[in-house]
Amino acid sequence: MKISAKYENKLKKLFELSKKTYVVNFQLKNEELISNFSNISDEEKINIIKEGIKIACQRKNSSEIENLMLSISFFGLCDRSEFIEDYIKLAKEEFHEEHETIASYFQSFHLPQTIECIYELATSDFEKYRWDDNFALVRKCCFALGDINTPKAKEKLELLLQSNEETIREHVMEQLKRYDFTNKDVE
């Protein structure tokens, strides 16, 4: 897939600058990235990032996805609904390492339309999560389903409750105790 000429230079700059992210006091920082894109509207940043996601998915490039997710965060765009379909697509792709970030973003949306995707993410068998006996990804998915707080979300949590893993059942019970699941299932 060829990069749109309209965004080619900006996307290259975004990838270049996002690699300069560093940690200060346990927080990720990248002032250079933020300042270089400060004169660009949020809508244009979204379009640039969406273009980048398409390219990175075709290339199956994990580091580009990581850089794009960092950029979304640095620009304060995590909760923008324009990314929902991108997050849903990325949640199903194994080639990257951003599944926990995506689960957290889903949690902030509280959207019933993401329930099935969150459940699929929680039950995915991605190689990189098989070693995690704390089940961090599953826990984030449980929180996302809990925060959606609908009868359909409760159904998915109850399915997860059938897991053979005690830790997963504990994560599910934590959510089942927190909510009444009476929000309407509006998709």
For the chain, the domains span 1-77, 102-181
Domain 102-181 has CATH 1.10.3470: no
Task: Give dist(CA 112, CA 93) in Å, integer.
Answer: 21
pLDDT of residue 61: 96
pLDDT in tens, 95-141: 999 999 999 999 999 999 999 999 999 999 888 777 777 799 999 99
pLDDT of residue 129: 78
Average pLDDT over residues 70-80: 92
Query: What is the separation, in whole angstroms, between the first and last Cα of the chain?
Result: 32
pTM of the predicted protein model: 0.86
Task: Give dist(CA 110, CA 101) in Å, integer.
Answer: 15
